[in-house]
Amino acid sequence: MVAGEGGRADTSTQSPAKKKSRNTGPATPGLHGRAQGSILKAPTQHVFENKRIIFEASVILDGQNPYLQFAETIRGLVSNAQIVDPLFQIDPISSTSLRNPIKRTQDVQNNLTLLGEYVKINGNLGAFQKKKSGAGTGGGRKSKGKEEDRNPMIWFCFAASFDVGAQYLVDRMTHEWGRLGGWRLQVKSVYSFKTVTPIMCIKLWTETDYDTLIAEFKAILQETWDVERANLTQYGDKLALPEMGIVSLAHGSQVLRQWIGMCRTLGK
C-alpha cells in the first residue's frame, strides 16, 4: 500500500472485497418467497354417531337469580356430558343456523336471547317467576299456615350431537343432573321442538276408537263429495262414497280423488 497525495491510501492495489456468502438452503415456508407446499392440513369435521338428538329436560331454580342459575345449570350439563363423551356438543335449534355449536362451558351465554339459539325454553314471561302455592291436600281444603311460593320449574329442549349411546349418556348424568336441580332429562319421544300438533295427532290416532275415526274422516270426505257430486250430471245422484277402512281413510284425499275421477268418467 502506497500513500498518495493528501495522505490517502492508494487503493488501486487493494484486493477486491470478498462477497458475503449467501444461504443456498431451502427457504422457510411462509417467510421468504413462496413455499413449495403447505405442511398443514385442513382439519376434518368429526362425524357423530348420534347427530342432533333432541332432549327434553326440566330443572328447579331455587337461587336468588333464576336467570343466571339457569345458564349455570346448562354449563353443568355440558360439563358432565363431556365427562361421558368429550366430543359432546349442543347444536343450534335451527339446523340451518350459521352459529357454532356449544363445545365448551364458556360458550354458554348468560343472556337468554343468545342462549335461546341453542335451548328452547317452554313457557311465557312468567316462566322464571315463583309460583303461588295452590290448595293443600285433604279434600281440597287449604292447608293451615302461610305457604311459601314454589320455585320455578323450567322445561326446555335442546339438540345435541355425541358418539356414545343416548340412554347411556342419560344414565351416567342422572345423579349429577339431580344435584344441579334437574328434574327430568330424557330423549324426546317426538322428534320435534314444537310437539303440540304432533302429540294431538298421535293421541287422536292411538287413543280414539276406530269407528269414531272412520265416522269423522268420512264426514270430512262427504263434504267434498257433495260439492263434486253436484257437477256430475248423469250418475251424480246415484253414487255414494265407497266403503273405506281406517287405512284407506288415512289416505282419504287420494282415495277421494280416484273416486271422483272414476265418477267423472262414468258421467261422460
Q: Pairing relation of β-strands 153-162 and 50-60?
A: antiparallel
Q: Quick one: pLDDT at residue 90?
A: 96
Q: What is the mean pLDDT of residues 51-62?
A: 93
153 and 109, same domain (yes or no) = yes
Looking at 163, 195, 227, the residue that finishes a domain is 195
**Packing angle of the helix pair 66-84, 166-179 (nearest 10 deg):** 140
* Segments forming the whole domain that contains residue 180: 50-130+148-195
121 and 243, same domain (yes or no) = no
Domain assignment present for residue 14? The answer is: no
pLDDT, averaged across the chain = 75
- pTM, rounded to two decimals: 0.56
Burial class (CB in 10 A: 0-12, 13-18, 19+), 70: buried
191 and 87, same domain (yes or no) = yes
Q: Which of 26-40, 50-64, 74-88, 209-223 has the lowest mean pLDDT?
A: 26-40
Q: Quick one: pLDDT at residue 95?
A: 86
Q: What is the mean pLDDT of residues 117-125?
A: 89
Given pLDDT bands bounded at 50, 70 and 90, which one contains residue 56? Answer: very high
Q: Quick one: pLDDT at residue 49?
A: 93
Domain assignment present for residue 28? The answer is: no
178 and 76, same domain (yes or no) = yes
Number of domains in the chain: 2
Query: What are the backbone dihedrals phi and psi of residue 130, each rounded to the nearest 5 degrees, phi first?
Result: -65, 145
Domain assignment present for residue 140? The answer is: no
Cα 172 to chain centroid, rounded: 22
- 21, pLDDT greater than 70: no
150-208: per-residue pLDDT in tens? 899 999 999 999 999 999 999 999 999 999 999 999 998 766 666 555 556 666 666 66
Winning range, highest mean pLDDT, from 30-39, 70-79, 225-234, 244-253: 70-79
127-160: per-residue pLDDT in tens? 899 887 754 444 444 555 566 788 999 999 999 9
